[in-house]
């Protein structure tokens, strides 16, 4: 079971991902397609229910057209 700190980081990351996705006007499916991920995984990430790997953060950043640091700036 993840620690409270890990859960909080996952939640903050997910909130930031959702904010950036919505600012870009992208759907979950569009992001998933661009990042070669399942759209249900994008939803889980945004809801803080998925501990994302570092390599996936870079894939998400590329798919969103932002820097990885933008996803981690919360």
One-letter-per-residue 3-state SS of 7-22: HHHHHHHHHHHHHHHH
Structural domain boundaries enclosing 59: 4-72
Which pLDDT tens digits describe the chain residue by residue (74 residues)? 668 889 999 999 999 999 999 999 999 999 999 998 888 999 999 999 998 999 999 999 999 999 999 999 98
Q: What pLDDT shows up at residue 39?
A: 87
What is the number of structural domains in the chain? 1
Q: Which two tokens stand for residue 4?
A: 């409270």
Q: Which two tokens stand for residue 21?
A: 């996705």
First vs last C-alpha separation in the chain: 23
Q: What pLDDT shows up at residue 4?
A: 86
Q: What pLDDT shows up at residue 71?
A: 95
Which domain CATH number covers 46? 1.10.260.40
Q: What pLDDT shows up at residue 3?
A: 84
Residue with tokens 């945004």: 46
């Amino acid at each position: 079971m993840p620690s409270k700190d890990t859960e909080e980081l996952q939640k903050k990351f997910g909130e930031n991902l959702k904010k950036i996705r919505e600012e870009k006007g992208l759907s979950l499916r569009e992001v998933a397609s661009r990042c070669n991920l399942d759209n249900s995984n994008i939803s889980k990430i945004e809801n803080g229910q998925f501990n994302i790997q570092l390599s996936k953060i870079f894939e998400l950043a590329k798919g969103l057209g932002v820097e990885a640091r933008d996803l981690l700036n919360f």
